[in-house]
Chains A and B, each alone.
Chain A
Amino acid sequence: MRRLGLGGWVGLSLVLAFVLIAIAAPWLYPGDPQDRVGRALIWPFEDPALPFGTDRLGRDLAAGIAHGTRVSLLVGFAAAAAAITIGVVVGSLAGYLGGLIDDALMRLTDTVQTIPGFVLALALVAVLGAGVGTVILAIAVSSWTGTARIVRAEVSSWRERDLVLACRAMGMGHGEILFRQILPNIAAPVIVLASVVVAVAILVESALSFLGFGDPSLISWGAMVAEGRGLLRRAWYVAAVPGAAIVVVVVAISLAGDALTRALDPRRG
């Protein structure tokens, strides 16, 4: 665990803190974060009870940040989980089966990498309507390609090794070999990639909700930044504070991911 380093500890602690905030938000800030709690545009630190101040409608920014954490982390982790699942399935099938199926799946991967995920997300919003589910789906269908490539490369290299032959000789089925013997060996690079996908998913969700295509019933950081957009001259903190929250959470996840890379890399330490 010493190998995590200072950055790794800071990152993991912050991620844990955000998770706790997300879980505890309804108790920390009971009621609807969209409710008015005081005068409009109270600056941060002006009122100790409202550390981040209030927005144009007198809503508590701190409450918004706390509740917004839920959306960011939910979308981030759910989209990453879905993307990693798709990537692992596509990558393992391509790498293990090879041949025509491999060619077809890799062509599909090429194609998805050609479509800008954000434009696809906008099209999906137009088709399915705005909502957390749409956002998760949009991010998942455009972020699995990296995982698929890594898993495919690893699986096909493991396939060539004697391990698989030995397992076949012992009478194991293909599914058993793939899931019990090969995939556990490639968990490390996939976990590392997952942290990148989570970070990207949080950024994409914030951009969608900034444009107003997030879930209209939930408060989210991107939407809060959009609220502050018209107030840059009078009260720039309304846009700055939720944006800073995004930066901190993404930095934390990246630091944690880098630390995991070091901790899981068998060639080091």
Chain B
Amino acid sequence: MKPGQLGQVVRRRLAHAVPVLLVVALATFGLLKLAPGDAVDVLIATGGGGDAALAADLRRAYGLDQPWPAQLAHYLWRLVQLDLGYSFVHNRPVSHLIWERLPVSLLLMASATAFAVGFGIVLGVSAGQTPGGWRDRLILSVGLVLYAMPSFWVGLMLILIFAVKLALFPVGGFETAASDLTGIARVLDIAWHAVLPTVALALLFVSVYLRLMRAGVVEVASADFVRTARAKGVGATRILWAHVARNALLPVVAMVGVQAATLLGGAVVIESVFSLPGLGRLAYDSVLARDLVVLLGLLLTSAVIVIAINTVVDLVVAALDPRVVAR
């Protein structure tokens, strides 16, 4: 891929993102207005009460006494400045809360995607090589069950087997608390903690990708260029991977973008199961505390993350498929 084409892909995706984010912002504003009570009510409730005069003063100070179009304009203007509001529950700006928890969630999502795509490819190729054979049927059945298992339950069962019974992995947490590990030792400690959550989050997507990969392998195997490769005398293994799997991979990569929103939703649940201090944990605490400002900030951030993942996926697809940029 040439550098100019890279810019083209990113520009196209970003141009698409602006109206999408605007609609999401309108939706979050709508939810804010729909909720019983406003920020001042929350503030007064968490601050231990106050009288009506104080409430009115605060409303004036926050612009909540103005007509809603003015409030909306004010809301959007703050979003443009990357100001997601202020959490009175945490007594901190929402953007700070989200920013410090973002890495944990992104790490979990990245490792789960890598796991899911990797296993999806291997299992899908393995199944698609002999469609209808016993290996194909076995792998498809496994895929069906993986798809049907709720991720939180998978998480608990993994904890039961690998943490409680076998004691191979920790039951939860991002890293060993108060261990003062640094450098490579800390990285390994984090990776060790990440194994079970990664698998728990990834299994659903393994099922999605393996089915797509299998279908691709079956389809591409009868393509003319595979016959050309046989005619040239290319070995069976190289035909399978360099020709069949290489082409069957393209829709799988594109699917990673489609699944981005589902992946983020899954991460929220898994973080709760494994006590990981990520966005999911923040969302969970915010529901319990009715901290709507944080939740809506999370909603907007989620949309941005999904768009960012899709941009990366576009770039990977463009790098893998020379035909894409021409379109």
Contacts and interface: CB of A to CB of B under 8 A. Distances in A.
A touches B (Cβ under 8 A): yes
Interface of A: 107-108, 110-111, 113-120, 122-127, 199, 203, 206-207, 210-211, 213, 222, 225, 228-229, 232-233, 236, 239-240, 243, 246-248, 250-251, 254-255
A117 B265 CA distance: 7
B153 A225 contact: yes
Interface class of chain B by DSSP: helix
A119 B147 contact: no
B269 A118 contact: yes
A211 B286 CA distance: 12
Given A123-B296, A126-B290, A114 B31 contact: no
A10 to B, nearest CB: 11
Nearest to B137: A7
B23 interface: yes
Interface of B: 16, 19-20, 23-24, 27-28, 31, 34-35, 144-145, 147-153, 156-157, 159-160, 164, 258, 261-262, 264-266, 268-269, 272, 283-284, 286-287, 290-292, 295-296, 298-299, 302-303, 306-307
A209 to B, nearest CB: 10
A231 B283 CA distance: 25
B150 A222 contact: yes
Given A126-B295, A222-B150, 11 more contacts: A107-B23, A114-B303, A114-B307, A118-B264, A118-B265, A120-B299, A122-B295, A203-B150, A225-B153, A247-B148, A254-B148
A243 B156 contact: yes
A113 B23 CA distance: 12
Given A232-B160, A243-B150, A246-B153, A126 B292 contact: yes
A118 B266 CA distance: 8
A117 to B, nearest CB: 6
Contact of A107 (B20, B150, B164, B299): B20
A127 B295 CA distance: 10
Contact of B149 (A124, A127, A211, A247): A247
Contacts of A199: 147-148
A113 B31 contact: no
Contact of A254 (B147, B290, B296): B147
Nearest to A248: B148
A211 B144 contact: no
B325 to A, nearest CB: 21
Given A115-B302, A210-B269, A243 B153 contact: yes
Nearest to B148: A250
B148 A207 contact: no
Given A126-B295, A127-B292, A254-B148, A119 B302 contact: yes
A255 B264 CA distance: 27
Nearest to B279: A119
Contact of A232 (B19, B164, B261, B306): B164
B287 A251 contact: no
A255 B141 CA distance: 10
A108 B156 CA distance: 37
Given A107-B19, A122-B283, A246-B153, A114 B24 contact: yes
Given A115-B261, A126-B295, A210-B269, A239 B156 contact: yes
A243 to B, nearest CB: 3
Nearest to A110: B20
Contacts of B144: 251, 254-255
Question: Which residue of A110, A116, A117, A228 has the most chain B CB atoms within 10 A of its CB atom?
Answer: A116
B147 to A, nearest CB: 7
13 contacts: A107-B20, A111-B24, A113-B258, A115-B261, A116-B306, A119-B265, A122-B283, A123-B31, A206-B152, A229-B156, A247-B150, A250-B148, A250-B149
B24 A115 contact: yes
Nearest to B22: A111
B284 A123 contact: no
Contacts of B152: 206-207, 210-211, 222, 225
A228 B152 CA distance: 12
A210 B147 CA distance: 18
A246 B148 contact: yes
Contacts of B157: 239-240, 243
B148 A211 contact: no
B20 A250 contact: no
B121 to A, nearest CB: 22
A133 to B, nearest CB: 14
A115 B299 contact: yes
B154 to A, nearest CB: 8
B4 to A, nearest CB: 26
Nearest to A196: B147
A111 B23 contact: yes
A56 B132 CA distance: 46
A240 B152 CA distance: 11
- Lowest 4 CB-CB distances: which A-B pairs, in order? A118-B265, A243-B153, A250-B148, A116-B265
B50 to A, nearest CB: 23
A236 B264 contact: no
A211 B269 CA distance: 8
Contact of B298 (A108, A119, A211): A119
